[in-house]
Chains A and B, each alone.
Chain A
């Protein structure tokens, strides 16, 4: 009887998970083994043919590389900034609520709105960035989004700006739950602020750091809204990311089979990363 009760409790969540997560994932895997069917050429079983095509697809490798750079560029930076901001606004400073809100504002804005704002920051000549540049440094105008060398970095800066405030909230919550006795004790012992941070605060924040790290990693593969507004992946795929490429293949090229193949790769990649993070980092995380 207990079993039945337990299973009944699990059912709603399990049904939703299976229906909206596990079944689509399995269907995607299944679809990736067939060719895309049209009226003219019906779908047929191609085994790993789509995966072979993927290995030969230079754009896939390019967007995968872009995505890794994008992850490397955004995750540590946004986490570090988030932690700094949290420690800063956790102190008793004047107009604390205002500062916190200011840091959190970018998170509240939809990504599409943010991208529209930054599009004009980056616009050569009339954009904020170029005007500051000219005014402060007298530097010539630069075509930020039109230059393959700078476009990916530009999107990274924007994402860090948007994400850091969100992660700050988690750090802030964690900081507020730290017992104040620790700080008082440290003060009595005469430890410096930096020493206290390094040996007390930082280790105690590790569970939050793990949580934020997992989220930041997933976001760096999931967040592509800005590309629709800023660059459409260009110039010449220089700013394109894996998920955006999947969107193009599925809805612009109508190649659903190849899109499924790419999705399987993305799933594997994320699952692998999450596993590694939980396995490796958890050893260094002290709960309580």
Chain B
């Protein structure tokens, strides 16, 4: 019996020991791209603690974006909340509806802190602001870019330094890039746009390029049935069905990078988050360009933001602000961008010596930044999971030829209207 008592006493002591003046911050974060990123985050946390004695940081890796949201919300319900978390930028409305987050404006008191809230690229803030208040501070953010294989361009007699600038060019160039064997089977496709995993995200680019966003600012109305939006889906479908430059059916998100680096497609649309991985595995020179335009250029942003939870003490909120400010200084944003391929979230980061030197050797790294002026918010509404899945299903039904783009999108719009009516 005695050792048990000793153990209990020790446990009690251990439990009461950290009752010092330390403020402890727990934060969950997801990782959705390749590479040993947990080490990078842990390293940041340790560096921060050294510079800011009195604040302890517990970063907890929580899987992908869905897992992270589920874990953070479950922790909140179980009464042992995290103070901050990096969660999907598009979880904003859900988190507001669950009433678990507070805006950063409520904590930012000094002029300097208020200025910090405005230091980021405006297109990255679109998914973080609700009714004029900043709820999400951009951290791991990406956009879609076009990757092209310069060797394939040369082979097809195209200028290897000139990617397609618009939809027509993309279809034409892709047609020249398709390669077939003696039996008429395609050995290299012209272009691939992934349509599993995040089809809505890719489609937002098409829709934006054709002149439209898919939802309004208040997150209570979608625009799926618009004729230009339908035309955008028709173009995507035609790449496979009519122009025969992309495989018919859906294109898998997870294996597309390998198909590109194996030379099975000459162009692909993919997230900038894959840039470092493509750079490390492609055996041919490749270029990165902005997505082609129809009426205009366009791409949605994506990725994760810092949120602050409601169940926090004033001290914790202050400490959280200090930490997140530290995590988004230009130097750290630059460092994070080079480690991952994510975009640096504020303009000053691109003026740091480190990122300038990196971009000189690897100009592909700054294309995403240049595309920001055409960027738009990622699809987020109230009831966001359902509303998004309606669109995902419609896109896949159209791409696999089960429904026409018009029929699929109009049906999705009808359902979305039904879901969103209570929020208007």
Which residues from chain A contact B195 at a C-beta distance below 8 Å?
A: 146, 235
The answer on a CB contact under 8 Å between B98 and A126 is: no
Which residues from chain A contact B187 at a C-beta distance below 8 Å?
A: 125
Which residues from chain B contact A236 at a C-beta distance below 8 Å?
A: 393, 396-397, 400, 402
- Expressed in whole angstroms, the minimum distance between the Cβ of B37 and any Cβ of chain A is 19
* Residue on A nearest B251 in the bound complex, by CB: A146
In the bound complex, how far is the Cα of B340 from the Cα of A254, in angstroms?
A: 31
- Expressed in whole angstroms, the minimum distance between the Cβ of B67 and any Cβ of chain A is 9
Chain B, 375-423, CB within 8 A of any chain A CB: 383, 385-386, 389, 392-393, 396-397, 399-400, 402, 422
The answer on a CB contact under 8 Å between B197 and A232 is: yes
The answer on a CB contact under 8 Å between A125 and B250 is: no
In this assembly, does A40 line the interface, its C-beta being within 8 Å of a C-beta of chain B?
Answer: yes
* Residue on B nearest A147 in the bound complex, by CB: B249
The answer on a CB contact under 8 Å between B196 and A234 is: yes
The answer on a CB contact under 8 Å between B248 and A229 is: no
Which residues from chain B contact A253 at a C-beta distance below 8 Å?
A: 383, 385-386, 389
**Cβ-defined partner of B186 (8 Å) among A39, A139, A140, A229:** A140
Which residues from chain A contact B94 at a C-beta distance below 8 Å?
A: 254
The answer on a CB contact under 8 Å between A252 and B389 is: yes
The answer on a CB contact under 8 Å between B402 and A148 is: yes
Chain A, 105-144, CB within 8 A of any chain B CB: 119-120, 123-127, 134, 138-141, 143
The answer on a CB contact under 8 Å between A143 and B250 is: yes
In the bound complex, how far is the Cα of B400 from the Cα of A238, in angstroms?
A: 11
**Cβ-defined partner of A254 (8 Å) among B186, B385, B396:** B385
The answer on a CB contact under 8 Å between A143 and B248 is: yes
The answer on a CB contact under 8 Å between A125 and B264 is: yes
Which residues from chain A contact B16 at a C-beta distance below 8 Å?
A: none
The answer on a CB contact under 8 Å between B97 and A38 is: yes
Which residues from chain A contact B183 at a C-beta distance below 8 Å?
A: 138, 140
In this assembly, does A260 line the interface, its C-beta being within 8 Å of a C-beta of chain B?
Answer: no
Interface of A is mostly: loop
The answer on a CB contact under 8 Å between A235 and B385 is: no
In this assembly, does B169 line the interface, its C-beta being within 8 Å of a C-beta of chain A?
Answer: no
Interface residue count on the A side (C-beta < 8 Å): 36
In this assembly, does B259 line the interface, its C-beta being within 8 Å of a C-beta of chain A?
Answer: yes
| Contact A148 to B254, CB < 8 A, known contacts A38-B97, A252-B385 | no
In this assembly, does B175 line the interface, its C-beta being within 8 Å of a C-beta of chain A?
Answer: no
In this assembly, does B211 line the interface, its C-beta being within 8 Å of a C-beta of chain A?
Answer: no
| Contact A123 to B258, CB < 8 A, known contacts A147-B249, A234-B196, A236-B402 | yes
The answer on a CB contact under 8 Å between B258 and A126 is: yes
- Expressed in whole angstroms, the minimum distance between the Cβ of A123 and any Cβ of chain B is 4
In this assembly, does B66 line the interface, its C-beta being within 8 Å of a C-beta of chain A?
Answer: yes
| Contact A229 to B254, CB < 8 A, known contacts A125-B264, A236-B400 | yes
Which residues from chain B contact A252 at a C-beta distance below 8 Å?
A: 66, 385, 389
The answer on a CB contact under 8 Å between A134 and B185 is: yes
In the bound complex, how far is the Cα of B394 from the Cα of A235, in angstroms?
A: 10
Per-position 1/0 for B316-336, Cβ under 8 A of A: 000000000000000000000
Per-position 1/0 for B168-197, Cβ under 8 A of A: 000000000000000111110000000111
In this assembly, does B228 line the interface, its C-beta being within 8 Å of a C-beta of chain A?
Answer: no
In this assembly, does B252 line the interface, its C-beta being within 8 Å of a C-beta of chain A?
Answer: yes
In the bound complex, how far is the Cα of B99 from the Cα of A38, in angstroms?
A: 9
The answer on a CB contact under 8 Å between A39 and B250 is: no
The answer on a CB contact under 8 Å between B250 and A145 is: yes
The answer on a CB contact under 8 Å between A147 and B254 is: no
Q: Which of A140, A234, A238 has the most CB of B within 10 A?
A: A234
The answer on a CB contact under 8 Å between B250 and A234 is: yes
Which residues from chain A contact B252 at a C-beta distance below 8 Å?
A: 119, 123, 145-146
Q: Which of B183, B195, B196, B252 has the most CB of A within 10 A?
A: B252
* Residue on A nearest B94 in the bound complex, by CB: A254
Per-position 1/0 for A216-249, Cβ under 8 A of B: 0000000000000101101111100000000010
The answer on a CB contact under 8 Å between B402 and A119 is: no
Which residues from chain A contact B397 at a C-beta distance below 8 Å?
A: 235-236
- Expressed in whole angstroms, the minimum distance between the Cβ of A256 and any Cβ of chain B is 11
Which residues from chain A contact B262 at a C-beta distance below 8 Å?
A: 125-126
In this assembly, does B219 line the interface, its C-beta being within 8 Å of a C-beta of chain A?
Answer: no
In this assembly, does B339 line the interface, its C-beta being within 8 Å of a C-beta of chain A?
Answer: no
The answer on a CB contact under 8 Å between A235 and B389 is: no
Which residues from chain A contact B254 at a C-beta distance below 8 Å?
A: 119, 229
Which residues from chain A contact B70 at a C-beta distance below 8 Å?
A: 251
In this assembly, does A283 line the interface, its C-beta being within 8 Å of a C-beta of chain B?
Answer: no
In this assembly, does B122 line the interface, its C-beta being within 8 Å of a C-beta of chain A?
Answer: no
- Expressed in whole angstroms, the minimum distance between the Cβ of B272 and any Cβ of chain A is 22
Which residues from chain B contact A134 at a C-beta distance below 8 Å?
A: 185
The answer on a CB contact under 8 Å between B98 and A125 is: no
Which residues from chain B contact A127 at a C-beta distance below 8 Å?
A: 255
In this assembly, does B247 line the interface, its C-beta being within 8 Å of a C-beta of chain A?
Answer: yes
In the bound complex, how far is the Cα of B253 from the Cα of A123, in angstroms?
A: 11
In this assembly, does A288 line the interface, its C-beta being within 8 Å of a C-beta of chain B?
Answer: no
Which 5 pairs from chain A and chain B are nearest by CB? Answer: A146-B249, A235-B396, A146-B250, A252-B385, A253-B385
Interface residues of A (CB under 8 A from B): 38-41, 59, 119-120, 123-127, 134, 138-141, 143, 145-148, 229, 231-232, 234-238, 248, 251-255
14 A-B interface contacts by CB (under 8 A): A119-B255, A120-B258, A124-B259, A124-B264, A126-B255, A126-B258, A126-B262, A143-B248, A145-B252, A232-B196, A234-B196, A235-B195, A248-B385, A253-B383
